[in-house]
Amino acid sequence: MIVAPDAWRSNGVAQSRATNEATAMTNTKTCAACDYPLDENAIQVRIGGQTVEVCCEDCAKKLNEAYASANATTTG
């Protein structure tokens, strides 16, 4: 009786991929007028020498008007 030894071949290649996800932008900005979370479409407006960011043109207008009315001398 001749028994031929079987050769067991097991090739298990485990490749582990390391993905580095660097989340540098962790600060969430919000619209200066309506507190809506800003995305890449945010608009920068200069109000009284200070640059603020708003979500849309309407909010930019609102801020401008609010600043203008705040600086306007009201007689009352």
Write phi, then psi, for 32 (nearest 5 degrees). Answer: -70, -15
**CB 13 → Zn ion: shortest distance, Å?**
53
- Integer distance in angstroms from the first to the last C-alpha of the chain? 117
- Given 33, 42, 60, 63, the residue binding Zn ion (CB under 5 A): 33
Binding residue count for Zn ion, defined by CB under 5 A? 7
State yes or no: residue 55 binds Zn ion (CB under 5 A). yes
Write phi, then psi, for 46 (nearest 5 degrees). Answer: -100, 115
**CB 56 → Zn ion: shortest distance, Å?**
6
Longest dimension (CA), the chain: 117
State yes or no: residue 36 binds Zn ion (CB under 5 A). yes
State yes or no: residue 67 binds Zn ion (CB under 5 A). no
Residue 12 CA to residue 5 CA, distance in Å, equals 22
Residues near Zn ion (CB under 5 A): 31, 33-34, 36, 54-55, 59
